[in-house]
Amino acid sequence: MAMKKIMLIEMSSENEDDASKQYAADIYLPASLYEIDDAIDKCRGYLVKTDIMPFSISECERVPLLSQLRFDGTNLYELNFLAKQIGEFDNAQLAVYNALLPLVVGENYESELISIKDLINLTYSVDDCSVAAKVFNDKDFGEMLIDNEMVEGIENLSDEMIKLLDYGKVGEAHRKAENGVYVNGYYISREGFKLKEIFNGETLPEYTPDNYLFRFHLSNTEIHETVIDVPFNESTEQFIKNAKESEFNLFDFESAIPKILRFSKNMRIRIDVDDLNRVNELVKSYLLLDEIQTVKFKAAFSK
């Protein structure tokens, strides 16, 4: 199943021989390898030919602070990995990442360049903090601590005395002592936080991005939903072999070439195994095109 896009990257470059010619591309991450290739093609390969990184995170609703950062050097593959990691977080892990990120980037992040290495390594630290759910403020936190007898000396107090305690002040004292914060209904203790070193800044942890040019979302009376990636991968080939003469309803379609998507709006058609095999052969031919032929092919969809 495709992972939800959670990060928008804006890229731009200028022609090396004519500065008046500008190239631009947007890409939503995490993306397939073919989507990344398409974005690079739009910038005429500039991203892989130079050490200058002419792009920025313009939108990331899950981690808003990311859109305010400037990096000291990165690439689309590192950003794609970061987006993949963030996209896999549950709500508690996401809250922890947002809580710890300010510690990693520092107070002067608006005027300093930030290391993508640290942001990736931070994704491996989201399970290392103490987290309390449904806690929005000091009063909630203090009440939770008292109800669970987590306040030193409380065992010596009568129930009547406990009721007189100021929950807010108890929560505030513990929050400050633990360098804690409240994020999206969670309390996160940042006491003793230490950034893990999983990514060395050169070789990304083992990860294989989606590798499709087209993705078909299909269903029929026997199958509630299945996803077919083209070119076929091993599991898809086995599915096609078993499906034989089956027909499917096509209810959604994705493409690593965004311009093709405008031809598929409101698509609700029947498709069979022979159709899928023909598309697979077409994609195989496309992948044999050289760089110039590929650009011409994509340009045809702009007319």
> pLDDT tens-digit profile of 180-211?
999 999 999 999 999 999 999 888 887 777 77
Tell me which residue of 37, 38, 41, 34 sits closest to 13, measured CA to CA.
41
Q: Which of 69, 70, 129 has its CA nearest to residue 94?
A: 129
Mark whether 168 and 94 lie in a shared domain. Answer: no
Q: Is-contact 79 35, C-beta < 8 A?
A: no
Q: What pLDDT does 292 receive?
A: 74
Q: Indicate whether 29 belongs to any domain.
A: yes
Domain co-membership, 18 together with 100 = yes
Q: What CA–CA distance (Å, rounded) separates 47 from 235? A: 33
Indicate if 277 and 246 belong to the same structural domain.
Answer: yes
Per-chain mean pLDDT for the chain: 85
Structure tokens at 137: 């403020």
Nearest Cα neighbor of 256 from 36, 87, 9, 46 is: 36
| Residue 125, pLDDT above cutoff 60 | yes
CA 161 from chain centre, in angstroms, equals 49
Helix H segments across 16-134? 33-42, 46-49, 76-87, 91-105, 116-122
Q: Which residues contact 282 (CB under 8 A, 6 or more apart)?
A: none
- 228 beta partners: 216
Mean pLDDT within 39-56: 62
Q: Is 201 among the domain residues?
A: no
Q: Is residue 291 part of a domain?
A: yes
| Structural tokens at position 183 | 């994020």
pTM (2 decimals)?
Answer: 0.74
Structure tokens at 127: 């399970």
Mean pLDDT of 144-170: 77
- 161 CB neighbour count, 10 Å cutoff: 10
What pLDDT score does 207 carry? 73
What is the number of H-type helices and E-type strands within the chain? Answer: 12, 12
DSSP 71: E
Q: What is the predicted pLDDT for the residue at 69?
A: 93
Biggest alpha carbon–alpha carbon distance for the chain: 82
User: Do 14 and 109 reside in the same domain of the chain?
Assistant: yes
Report the domain count for the chain: 3
The stretch 76-81 carries a mean pLDDT of: 92
Q: Is 185 left (phi over 0), alpha (psi -120 to 50) or beta?
A: left
pLDDT-based confidence at 27, cuts 50/70/90? very high
Q: Which domain holds residue 276?
A: 214-302
Query: In this model, does residue 42 exceed pLDDT 60?
Result: yes
On whether residue 202 sits in a domain, the answer given is no
Whether 117 has a pLDDT exceeding 90, the answer reads yes
